[in-house]
Amino acid sequence: MTTILQEIQKWSEELPAWQQHAIAKIYAQGELTQQDHDDMYALLKVAHKIADPENRVASKLAAGEVAVQPAVGQLIQIGAIKNLNNVNALASDQRLSISAKGLTVIYGENGSGKSGYSRVFKHACRARDRREHILPNANEEPGKAGPPQATFELHVDGVEHEVQWQSGQVSPAELSSIAIFDSHCARAYLDNHGDFAYVPYGLDILKKLVDALGTLKAMATKEQGQNTPDSALFAELSQTKTKVGTLLSALSAKTKPADVEALATWSEEKKAEHANIVAALSEADPKLKAQTLRNQATRFEGLSTRIDKAITLLDDAHLAALVAVVHTASVAKEAAELASKAFRETPGQLLGTGEEAWKKLFKAARSFAAESHPGKEFPHLGPESSCPLCQNTLGAEGAARLVMFDEFVERKTEQEAKTAKDAADALISAIKLANLELLIDETLKNEIAARNQALAESCVGIQKWLTDRRSSMLTACQPAGDWANLVQLIGSPAPALVLLKDQLIAEAVAMEETLDEAGRAKMIAERDELDACRRLSELKAGVLLAIEKHIITGKLNSCVTAAGGTMPISKKATQLSDTMATKEVVAALNAELESLNVHELKVVMKPTSAKGKTQYKLALEMLGKRDATEILSEGEQRAIAIASFLAEVGLGKGLGGMVFDDPVSSLDHSRREYVARRIAKESLSRQVIVFTHDLFFLNVLVHEARALGMEPACRSLRRAPAGYGVADESMPFEGASTKDRVGILRVMLVEATKLRKAGDDKGYKREARDIYAHLRMSWERAVEELLFNGVVLRFRKGVETNRLNKVTIEPGDVETITKNMGKCSNYTGHDGAIQANLAIPLPPEIEQDINVLDDWRKAASDRLNKKK
């Protein structure tokens, strides 16, 4: 069998992350804060694709946080809790023993460390109320303390067993079988039928989840309203019969921003196109204007062609060719000159040999040899032949010299030098004769300037550049010329002239199109489209913002729908309520309310209709005195919680124990007695642990337990040098019996004796006075408990007159009590004792005074026991 909390935890695993976060927070805190709602809202929006700038992460209610039902028939009891570390300022070497059966009452005054123990129980046993975090010792250096932890001694079906608990880790499953009472055990609220509906333990999570969804729905609705797109900005434009108007009239979350960007582009080309159309539509004689524009276009195109042609003649390609041929000619000339010099300097030759006159003479001899030496090839005439010039026999030396002369005249370097020089001269001549005149007269210049002043200046400037460029190139070709001083290329205005020509043609076409109605209508439509694009470019930011708002409102609408989807939650609540809306539950709850003497409250099953099906809910009726619409008091809420806790644990049929943490907070004295009686009765069948700081309630608990024939285990927690939460295996002194007080006095005497032996006289006197103060209180307790047989007790309501039959007061009793209480008063700080400056008794005397009380206690007890 699973509990409601287990059912909710398992069911929550299938919910959206933001709802899981809400359940986890409600379970952990009971109530949701504004920050919790803000976090849930951010997570809800993330679920519908609205980014969270804070990147919040959803919490989940893990199965390990919820108490589980123990195995059927399994008995798990706590024997002790010990070795608490990093739990507030609690001493770490303590062991708080707990009775495995019956009732254990753990008393601690405010500041004693009780809260630290109770918080460990709540966290370890998976109580729902874990809002109070367990913090490390504030006196420790921050960051040095480890996580809170503790060891539990268990009895699992009678077998001793230890488990370790550590904060932040899944609590041992065995401990979750211990039921923890807290203020969340049950709730009652006014439903929409005017009834105080009873909400079982855990089921209020679903009601609060529904409430949280209502808050989120309101938040989403509000933000949706704040993000409603404002279409007034472009309302007029959306009515135009243009592409822009069509887009704006259908603007929505599906509109693509890229489509807006494309239509809103207002480029220089569109500006020019718009200007052309406007000009064409406003022209009085479009035909004449078109012809004028075409004539201008022709002139601009001609100038562009002339500029391109002239620049081509002097561009870097021609420059590179010029540099190459001049360089080649120069190198060839140098090579030829070197060869000629070497020939002329040959020994034995006449002055002038190799010069131009000599070359002409040799060439004439070549021609004459063809006639004078038929059959032979010049210059290879042979040694026996006559020289064509001197007509003497050549001989071997002359024949060789003739061949050498011929080779000189015909060698390649001479030919190459001549060829290179001819090429260079031809290219230089072409550049000199190139036609660089652009024919830019004043009229043409003004026409260009009317359209583009900068372009007109550029065209005039290119004319001068052409002249300067040619001059620098020709100068560089001279023998002393420097190619580094060339006038460099500049940007040509020809492309701009072509664009201007195209623009003029477009304007002319526009003018011509206005000559017929269809063309004019087309132009008007184009003008309107361009006008709309221009206006859209001005409103683009607002249009894109409107698209964003359409998108966000669409997503927020999904959030509103999701937050309004409470049907599955209500269905689950109904399903779980049906398991609690039974006659068995009603009987158990009413029995518990009656046991707590809450007669003005009664649980009933009331029919309710859902879609034609009759169902039942549990409701609280206010009997007799009040109208059901009155608000329940805090005390009544606490009574409902205790009754619900006891009923639900009882119906669970489990054997696990119960832990109550200050169960009577907000209850009056009379109802505390009923709670004490009910808890004492419950401890007859299971282990019950009660933490309390209420001394009255402690004594009533002990009294009720003893009335049932059971001796409760009483423990107390106190502050000591070792820290807080030091455990004593006894009642606190104020609630202890005379017998227990004697034991406490003897322990106090041991501590005082140690101080005296250590030479701490001041400490000893302080401790001794404290002993006598407690000894006096013990005599007072003995009078109530033994002398008057408990007829009248402090911390107990009423006088038990049936105990008077055993009351006997002997003269010796009065004398002993008066004498010893008087002695105690001498050392408890009364003014008389201070003035008398009485010496503090030594330990043996104090021990004797304690023995006097113990001896009288035993005698009085024996006397009571002998009487029937």
**Residues 436-461 pLDDT 10s:** 888 888 888 888 888 889 888 888 88
What DSSP designation does 380 have? B
More confident residue, 78 or 630: 78
SS3 691: strand
Average pLDDT for 755-777? 90
What is the crossing angle of helices 17-29 and 204-226, to 10°? 130
Domain definitions of the chain by residue range: 232-283+514-560, 286-314+434-509, 325-416, 736-868
Long-range CB contact pairs, 500-505, < 8 A, 24+: 500/300, 500/448, 500/451, 500/452, 500/455, 501/297, 501/300, 501/301, 501/304, 502/297, 503/272, 503/276, 504/293, 504/294, 504/296, 504/297, 504/300, 505/293, 505/294, 505/297
AA identity, residue 689? I
**Which tens digits make up the pLDDT trace of 788-813?**
877 676 666 667 777 777 778 888 88
Q: Which of 173-177, 361-365, 711-715 has the lowest mean pLDDT?
A: 361-365
Between CA 753 and CA 749 the distance in angstroms is 6
pLDDT in tens, 534-590: 998 988 899 999 999 999 999 999 999 999 998 998 888 888 877 776 788 888 888
Q: Whose CA is closest to 401, among 427, 417, 415, 383?
A: 383
- Burial of residue 43 (number of CB atoms within 10 Å: 0-12, 13-18, 19+): buried
Would you state the pLDDT for residue 466? 84
Transcribe 15-80 into DSSP letters. S-HHHHHHHHHHHHHSS--HHHHHHHHHHHHHHTT---TT--------GGGS--PPPTT--EEEEE
Q: With DSSP H G I counted as helix, E B as strand and the rest as coil, what are the percentages for the chain, rounded to 5?
A: 60, 10, 30
- Quote the CA–CA distance of 829 and 392 in Å, as a whole number: 171
Indicate if the pLDDT at residue 348 is higher than 90.
Answer: no
Two tokens, residue 153: 């001694």
Q: DSSP 3-state assignment of 416?
A: helix
What's residue 97's pLDDT?
93
Strand order in the sheet with 601-610: 187-190, 196-199, 613-622, 601-610
Query: What does the mean pLDDT of the chain come to?
Result: 82
Range in 10-14, 314-318, 375-379 with the lowest mean pLDDT: 314-318
DSSP letter string, 159-214: EEEEEEEETTSPPPGGGGGSEEE-TTS-EEEE-TTS-EEEE-TTTHHHHHHHHHHH
The token pair at 622 is 């206010």
- At residue 835, the pLDDT reads 46
Q: Decide: 768 and 841 in contact? Cβ < 8 Å.
A: yes
What percentage of residues in the chain have a pLDDT greater than 90? 21
Distance CA 522, CA 526 (A): 6
For residues 212-238, average pLDDT: 90
DSSP label at residue 743: H
3-class secondary structure for 571-610? HHHHHHHHHHCCHHHHHHHHHHHHHCCCCCEEEEEEEEEE
pLDDT grade for 56, boundaries at 50, 70 and 90:
very high
Query: Which range, 363-367, 684-688, 730-734, is most confident?
Result: 684-688
Minimal CA–CA distance to 569: which of 14, 3, 1?
14
| Of residues 555, 556, 557, 546, the one with CA closest to residue 231 | 546
pLDDT band at 371; cut points 50, 70, 90: confident
pLDDT band at 39 (very low <50, low <70, confident <90, very high): very high
**Is the confidence at residue 119, as pLDDT, over 80?**
yes
Comparing CA positions, the residue from 285, 291, 241 lying closest to residue 514 is 285
- The set of residues, in sequence order, having a beta carbon less than 8 Å from that of 353 and lying 6+ positions away, is 343, 344, 346
* Residue 228 backbone dihedrals phi, psi, to 5 degrees: -60, 125
What number of other Cβ atoms are within 10 A of residue 602's Cβ?
A: 16
Sign of CA dihedral 306, 312, 315, 318: negative
Can you give the pLDDT at residue 628?
44
CA distance 108 to 25: 31
Instruction: In whole angstroms, give the CA distance from residue 228 to residue 238.
Output: 18
Q: Which tokens is 377 given?
A: 């090839």
Distances (CA, A) of 606 to 203, 621, 760, 772: 18, 10, 73, 64
Which stretch, 28-37, 177-186, 337-346, 836-845, has highest mean pLDDT? 28-37
Is residue 256 within 8 Å of residue 589, measured between CB atoms? no
Q: What is the pLDDT of residue 626?
A: 55
